[in-house]
Amino acid sequence: MEYRVLGQTGIAVSRLCFGALTIGPLQRRMPPEDGGLVIRRALEQGVNFIDTAELYGTYAHIREALRAWDKPEDVVIATKSYAPTWEGMARSLEKARREMGLDVIPVFLLHEQESRYTLRGHRPALEFLLEAKAKGIVKAVGISTHFVNAVWAAADMPEIDVISPLINSAGIGIQGGSKEEMLAAIAHAAKMGKGIYAMKPLGGGHLLNNWAAALEFCLSLQDLASVAVGMKSVEEVDSNVRFFNGERGLENPNSNHRRLHVDEWCVGCGSCVAACPNSALGVVDGRAKVVCPDNCVFCGYCGAACPEFAIKVI
């Protein structure tokens, strides 16, 4: 497995990052013991980088994977929080440390930033993370984003170490610009010394039929230290590891396509519409519906916002 240093952080990460969203309650809903085995399979094959978030509900899965692991300190965990305040981020950091059983969180990101204005609004939370970094509780701080403007803004902030942007071969899910504009922003961020790892290389599932070509596109981008790929089975882990190790001509490990399911008891409150980062949802005839299928990246954030538990990725 190839490793690269994440910008100027000094943190070496595997080019394949285990995306933990898919095993958690927003998608596959695997028990921590089962999800932990899938992550453990990746660790055993040299994957040392795991991407998660407070929203994903997978801290227990990661703790299971790290249980009795020889050198848990060598595993790089990147997590994220929406908290905009000092106090809220303090709670998020403590929750991450407690639930994953870690003293130090290697990478902590502000989740889903949109622009310099949202970064300004989250400044108290960022200040807390910078103080935690100074104390050695966090090693690197940064942002995750679907937005071109946020990459440009974060690139010019010296206190930001890491950026996790959405990028894929079709540009699915990119907000505020085109694929080419996102690539230009990523190139600028890399020039500014930021560590960059990609999210949604398979477009949330839209590019599963072109799995190999989609991953090849991201691997061709030299500005990316790593690529976070959602995996939910040991078979997917094995195929992705082999691909990232240079094997080609492999069978596509993704046999099932994802879709967004809305249960009949949906009350049409619109909470999911407000939570969708890609404007894919609407309320039609009193019920939530995917109104822009090409925009949906199956992140599951809508399901997390639903007070009736009526919407999920399956």
Q: Is residue 250 part of a domain?
A: no
Residues 211, 307 within the same domain: no
Task: Please give the pLDDT value at position 307.
Answer: 86
Question: Is there a single domain that holds both residue 179 and residue 298?
Answer: no
> Is residue 255 in some structural domain?
no
pTM summary value: 0.89
Stretches in the chain below the pLDDT threshold 50:
none
Query: For the chain, what is the domain count?
Result: 2
> Would residue 82 count as lying in a domain?
yes
Structural domain including 7 reads 3-244
In a domain, 20, yes or no: yes
Beta strand 49-51 pairing with 287-290: unpaired
Nearest to 44 by CA among 263, 260, 281, 237: 237
d(CA 115, CA 249): 40
Chain segment 133-143, per-residue pLDDT in tens: 999 999 999 99
CATH number of the domain encompassing residue 164: 3.20.20.100
What's the pLDDT score for residue 287? 92
Buried b (16+ CB within 10 A) or exposed e, 62-72: bbbbbeeeeeb
pLDDT of amino acid 251: 75
Last residue within a domain, chosen from 244, 269, 286: 244
Do 14 and 140 fall within a single domain? yes
| Residue 251 counted as domain residue | no
Q: Same domain for 28 and 105? A: yes
In this structure, is residue 309 part of a structural domain? yes
Report pLDDT for 257: 64
User: Residue 295 sits in a domain of what CATH number?
Assistant: 3.30.70.20
Q: What is the 3-state secondary structure (H, E, C) of 61-107?
A: HHHHHHCCCCCHHHCEEEEEECCCCHHHHHHHHHHHHHHHCCCCEEE
**Long-range pairs for 96-104 at CB < 8 Å and ≥24 separation?**
96/54, 96/59, 97/137, 99/59, 99/60, 99/63, 100/59, 100/62, 100/63, 100/66, 101/63, 101/66, 102/66, 102/72, 102/77, 103/137, 104/73, 104/136, 104/137, 104/138, 104/139
Separation of alpha carbons 148 and 179, rounded Å: 9
pLDDT tens track for 156-168: 999 999 999 999 9
Task: Determine the pLDDT at residue 235.
Answer: 94
206 and 267 fall within a common domain: no
